[in-house]
Structures are given as structure tokens and as C-alpha cells.
Amino acid sequence: MADQDPFRTFKSWHRWSRSLLPRIDSAGVRLERAIVGKIPSAAKSGADRVTGLLERQPLVCFALFFVLVCTRATHWLANPQFYIEDGKEFYAPAFNEGVHTLWRAYASYYHLVPRILSLIAAAFPVRYGPLVLELLALAIQAVSASFLVTARLAKQFPSVGVRFGLAFMVIGYPYSNELFGNVAHSQWYLGILSLAIICSEPGKRVVSRVADSVTVGLSCLTGPFAPIVAGISWSGWRGDKQRRVPAVIATVCAVVTLMALTGEPRTGIHRGSRFSLFERIISNQIVLGPIRGYHYVHQIPYTPFFDLREFFTALFGVVVIVWAVRKAPPLIKALAVLGTYSFLSSLITKGSWALIGDPGVGERYFLHIGLVMLFSVYFLSATARFSAVRWFFRAVLAICALATVQNWVYDPPFERFNYAPQIAKYDRLKPGEKVEIVFPIDRKLSTNSWTMDLIKK
């Protein structure tokens, strides 16, 4: 009997697989070209005209995004209520005490923009307080998104369509239930805006540069992000005099913020923290949340011990982000740094890791890194070496698009709260008397509430 090569079968399979991969890749490339060729030229030119208009007309862009974000907050606007710190910490002090509350620290840092917006809301009749505050919060989100479309970011994102897509995700992010319609969480959108200003080309007009400096200053005194913004501003300075002023302002604000943070520390890792919860946080909050959306992730059951699905999901997310961020534009890298800072800060604020890893809890901590996750998926869908990899990430993008539609409007909140009857009591008071107002602190659990006192003027 003739000698047989024991590895002959393996070798033949190896040769077949090596010849198969190029055929799959070429088939994917042909499919890409075929799909691009099927897109009508009128549709392409129409999209270019619309995005070009938004790039040239910032006010039109803002109006569009403001309308879009309002359509996501229909329940909030139909039954406006003060939410979490909006009432007790911001509106009530602004209404009762006035401008003296501007420099009051809360939760170990300053909140200058929410306090300014609360003063604006307090200038309106008290019955319109919650509605005005919600509209101002939505306007902050729309401003942050519309700046991303401007030509000042064209060197990083040459395609205005890509800039529009990134801005749209700031509006349509499907894992942002707790971030809508409240000034208490406006700091997370202001963080995006300040980084976009720092990483963009300086404005050509003096008015634009002054507006940049003022915006960076206000943003850096709202939330704990000033040290990160300052570090990123100096890292990209390179001797440019026009970038020096925002960098100096961010540095001064960083010193003020660090003094506040060290004066009232909130740090401390929860005793029950363990690795099986750490990877659960990444899996639910950074990967599945941005990709599948709030409605899907909120239904994931709690896993008390190590879970393979969560581990490999978390590993996938980390690999995708690291893989894409290496070649991403400076703004995305800066957003990844800020997102990592926010993520790590959530782990050392004495909060339970089991609670933070619970889907739908603490979404704000993961907004920045979640946006980086979505951009990484897009980036790899367009630039990956092999067409099969590109098509895989395009399928993930399709899931993201479906999640955006499914989560455009969240469940109706505040069903058991009604501001109008409570403020009717205020109308019957004599000057100097006060009324207690009850308002929600959780959009899903309507039994959770806080109270605030409004003094009749």
C-alpha cells in the first residue's frame, strides 16, 4: 500500500480556504460598486445640497436639530415637570434667591450653565418654569450637535455628510433616556461642544473667537470636565496664538474645578465591586446600549456571576474602539479620552457597580464613549481592509439605525406627577409665603420624588 501523507487533507483544506478568501473579498467589492451605482444621481446631489446648506447656515442647522430633539421629547413637553436637580438645586434657588446662587457648588463641582438657564426660566411666570427649562436644555443639545456640522471641522472630517451623521447621533443617540429635557445633565453635551471647539479650526472673525472662549469657559465651569479639556487644548496647541486663549481659559477653569473636587471628594470604590461587574458595565453601557438602544438593553436580566456573553461583548467593544481610535480624527480621540474619564469616574464615586451595570442606569456616564463606539463601527465599515469586515460592521450599523428608530420616543414619563395643580396653590399664596412642590427623580419609577419650596413674590 502506498504511503499516504497524513496532512494531505489539511493542506487541501488550507489551499481551498486561502483561495476562497480573495473570492469572497472581490465579491464584496463588486457588491459595494453595484450598490453605489444604483443610487440615483439626483438623490446624491440633493443630499449634498441639503448638507451643504446646513454647513453654511448654522441657524438653519440649529433649527433642524432643535425640532428633531423636540420630537423625541414630546412626552416631556406635553407634561413638563422639573426633573432631578432641575427643581431642588437649580430652579428653586434661582427663583427664591436670584443671582447669588451662580457660584454655588454642587456634587463637588460647579454648574454655571444650569444656574444661568434656571435664572432665565425663573424670569418667566412660575407656571411656565418647567417648560422653559426643558426647552433650554434641548437647545443646548441642538447647539452641541449643530456645531459639529460647521466647516471648522472640515479638515478632520472632509465629508459634510459624515459630520452631519456624527451630529445626528448626538441628537438621535438611542441610549439617552435620562439625558433628555433637563439642564442637570446638559454638562454632558457641553463637554462635546467644548471639545469640538478646542479641536476645530479657529474662527476667522473676532466675534467667533470671542464666542468660542466664552463657550469654553462656561462649559468648563459646568461639570468636572475642565481638566480633560485643558489637557487636550494644550496637547494640540503647537504654538498657535489663536488657540492659546481657549487653552488658558480651560486651564484656569481646570484649577477652579480641581479645587472644588478636592474640597468635597466623592471618591471611593464600592465594596461589592468585582471584575464580573466591570465587564457587565462595558457590555451593557458601552456596547449594547449604543448599538441596540435603551428599550432592548433595559430588558437584559441581571447576571450575578461571570457571564460569557457579557465578557465577549465587552471584549468586542474594547477591540473595536481601540482599533478605530488609533486612526480616528483628533476630535474622536479627544472624545474617547473624555469618555474614558467619565467611565472611570463612575467607578470611583462610591456607587455600586451592580447598579451602574444595570441597563438604563447612569447612561450619562457613558454617553461620550458610547458615541465613540458608534463612530468606530462606522469608521471600520468604511475603512476596514477586507470587504467582509466592512460588510459586517455595516450590518452592525443597520442594527444601530433600527435602534435609533425604535428608541426615538421613550416611554411616557411622569404619569403620576402634575405641576399645574401644585402651582395653583402658589397663585393663592400671599407674598412671603411658600408652597412645597413635588417633582420626579426617576422617569420609570413614578413613586420616587423630591420636593422644593417656592416663595411667593
Model-level pTM? 0.90
Contact present, 177 and 360 (Cβ < 8 Å) = yes
Per-residue pLDDT reduced to its tens digit, 286-308: 999 999 998 888 777 777 777 88
Write the DSSP string, 296-310: HHTTPPP--S--HHH
Domain ranges of the chain: 51-266+417-457, 269-408
Nearby residues of 267 by Cβ (< 8 Å), 6 or more positions away: 348, 349, 350
User: What integer is the mean pLDDT of 227-234?
Assistant: 92
Residue 1 confidence (pLDDT) = 43
Per-residue pLDDT reduced to its tens digit, 208-226: 889 999 999 999 999 899 9
User: What integer is the mean pLDDT of 373-389?
Assistant: 90
User: What integer is the mean pLDDT of 126-153?
Assistant: 94
Cell of 386: 477586507
Write the DSSP string, 342-355: HHHHHHTBS--HHH
DSSP, res 297: H
